[in-house]
């Protein structure tokens, strides 16, 4: 796979196409980053951007993982001490999950975000940014109901991180896109280049297919799940025999989370997917790409229960190394 395909595969959006093409021409020495608020445990949402980082390592990028401790604090995720401890554990888990440690720079936000220069630049950006713009940028990231002053400072700091970590490419889930757009609009005011961005899709809630899978509500899969937990959650998952389920009676959009996980988690990490079936049910099915698995589910050749059984097995292979780190 060439650099352009590695950068863009499974992305929901790239900003801009031309900028990505330019980066793909010579990725060596270019820097890409994702930031994570250390809170809770690594879950499947984190793993989606981690898969993109693994793609980018393969394309030759230098990878920076920001353990955004100050951001987690600003977003009300606990005491600074607790957040720091979670950051250490998160780093171990990312490495266990497959990020090559020798090619990855792990940075704590607090290592540079309290420096005089950073704080003064932050104030310069605060002068350029209206409160309503900051609030809009945070709409899909903030925890709790009301927007605090801390949460308005948060996206401006995230924009500035791009400058201080000297990155060419910012990666994030689709919920980060408004922060990245804010960065693209405001960084030129302090004489910085606008970052190129790649946004990964959001996986729907496992049990309903509605909204976005999150560790704070609904059913999500985490690095702490035992093989039995995974099996139970996947078996109970929403999986109609189609990639485009009908909206609910209330008009809420739905996705097929089982297919999404095959597409965004399993196929990027395994060359071939085998769905084991006893001979009397037609024997094993083998897939080299996501599209043929989707087609078989839609045609009825692949039963949702067999798809779920295979999914649970592959997910466990991805999750096991991180789980062992936690239990060690």
158 annotated as a binding-site residue: yes
- Find the shortest distance in angstroms from Cβ 260 to ligand IYR: 20
**Which residue, judged by CB position, is nearest to ligand IYR in the bound state?**
35
Pair 172, 134: CB distance under 8 Å:
no
Question: What gap in Å lies between CA 63 and CA 102, rounded to an integer?
Answer: 10
* Whole-number Å distance between alpha carbons of 177 and 182: 9
Distance CA 276, CA 141 (A): 39
Of the candidate residues 20, 23, 34, 275, the single one contacting ligand IYR (CB under 6 A): 34
Report CA-CA distances (Å) from 146 to 135, 151, 182, 247, 261: 10, 9, 21, 30, 32
**DSSP conformation letters of 219-239:** ---BTT--HHHHHHHHHTS--
> In this chain, which of 62, 69, 161, 296 binds ligand IYR, going by CB under 6 A?
161
Residue 49-68 contact track with ligand IYR, rule CB under 6 A, x = bound: -----------------x-x
The rounded radius of gyration (Å) of the Cα atoms in the chain is 20
Minimum CB separation from ligand IYR for residue 75, in Å? 8
Is there a binding annotation on residue 154?
yes
Contact 187, 155 (CB under 8 A): no
Based on CB atoms, which residue is closest to ligand IYR, 35 or 209? 35
User: Nearer to ligand IYR by C-beta: 71 or 265?
Assistant: 71
Closer CB to ligand IYR, residue 212 or residue 308? 212
Q: Can residue 158 be called a binding residue for ligand IYR (CB under 6 A)?
A: yes
Label residue 74 left, alpha or beta by phi (over 0 means left) and psi (-120 to 50 means alpha): alpha
**Nearby residues of 15 by Cβ (< 8 Å), 6 or more positions away:** 177, 180, 181, 184, 196, 197, 198, 199
> Given candidates 50, 87, 125, 141, which one binds ligand IYR under the rule CB under 6 A?
141
Part of the chain binding ligand IYR (CB under 6 A), chosen from 28-36, 54-62, 195-203, 300-308: 28-36
**Contacting residues toward ligand IYR, per CB under 6 A:** 34-37, 66, 68, 71, 141, 158, 161, 170, 172, 176
Binding positions are: 33, 154, 158, 161, 176, 215
Annotated binding-site positions for L-tyrosine: 33, 154, 158, 161, 176
């Amino acid at each position: 796979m060439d650099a352009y395909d590695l950068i863009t595969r499974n992305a929901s959006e790239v900003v801009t196409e031309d900028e990505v093409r330019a980066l793909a021409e010579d990725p060596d020495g270019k820097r890409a980053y994702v930031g994570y608020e250390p809170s809770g445990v690594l879950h499947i949402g984190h793993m989606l951007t981690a898969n993109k980082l693994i793609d980018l390592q393969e394309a030759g990028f230098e990878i920076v993982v920001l353990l955004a401790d100050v951001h987690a604090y600003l977003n009300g995720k606990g005491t600074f001490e607790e957040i720091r401890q979670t950051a250490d554990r998160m780093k171990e888990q990312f490495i266990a999950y497959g990020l090559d440690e020798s090619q990855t720079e792990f940075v704590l936000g607090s290592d540079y975000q309290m420096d005089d220069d950073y704080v003064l630049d932050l104030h310069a950006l605060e002068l350029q940014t209206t409160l309503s713009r900051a609030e809009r940028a945070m709409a899909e990231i903030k925890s709790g109901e009301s927007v605090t002053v801390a949460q308005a400072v948060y996206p401006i700091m995230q924009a500035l991180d791009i400058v201080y970590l000297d990155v060419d490419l910012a990666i994030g889930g689709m919920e980060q896109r408004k922060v990245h757009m804010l960065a693209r609009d405001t960084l030129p005011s302090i004489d910085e280049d606008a970052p190129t961005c790649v946004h990964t899709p959001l996986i729907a809630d496992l049990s309903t297919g509605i909204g976005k899978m999150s560790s704070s509500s609904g059913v999500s899969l985490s690095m702490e799940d035992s093989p039995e937990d995974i099996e139970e959650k996947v078996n109970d998952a929403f999986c109609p025999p189609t990639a485009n389920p009908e909206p609910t009676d209330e008009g809420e959009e739905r996705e097929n989370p089982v297919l999404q996980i095959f597409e965004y988690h399993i196929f990027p990490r395994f060359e071939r997917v085998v769905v084991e079936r006893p001979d009397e049910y037609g024997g094993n099915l083998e897939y080299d790409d996501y599209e043929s698995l989707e087609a078989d589910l839609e045609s009825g050749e692949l039963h949702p229960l067999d798809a779920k059984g295979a999914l649970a097995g592959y997910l466990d292979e991805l999750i096991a190394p991180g789980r062992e780190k936690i239990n060690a």
